[in-house]
Amino acid sequence: MKTVSLYRRPVNVMDQLLESFFDSPLLPFNGAPLLGKLPLVDVQETSGAYLVEAELPGFDEKQIRVQIEGGKLTIESDRNGEKTEEGNDSYLIRERRQLSFSRSFTLPENADPESVSARFKNGVLSLEIKKRAESAKRLIEISAQ
């Protein structure tokens, strides 16, 4: 029988500590994720909303949960119970098929958790989180007396 080995870069504890120190709104809790284990996410801020896009190839919208609780946005899926088409679980290495994940983000104070809309197309989950109207920048007119 052949032996299959796979080299993985060891996780640097100091890198993890530094990444967790810089945790900020709409960045993952506990610093950046280990790439390859969690879906890749882009976060963009516009004048009226925050836009989050997550790459979820191989998933469909029924396998993904998005929830907001206590100022925390969580995107997750649990596919551990799924079997392959043939029912064969004799993999030596399995990297292509991500079974489950959970990503959490801290929402900024001006985000409106009641206004979140979600869309899933071509393996990309798109979320729009609108900003509260009272947090919008406004120009104050100055009158001369």
Q: What is the pLDDT of residue 131?
A: 93
Greatest CA separation found in the chain?
Answer: 92
Nearby residues of 57 by Cβ (< 8 Å), 6 or more positions away: 123
* Interval 2-30: pLDDT, tens: 444 444 445 555 555 555 544 444 544 44
* Interval 52-103: pLDDT, tens: 999 998 888 899 999 999 889 999 987 655 555 555 667 777 666 656 889 9
Q: Which domains does the chain have, with CATH numbers?
A: 26-133 (2.60.40.790)
Kindly report the pTM of this predicted structure: 0.62
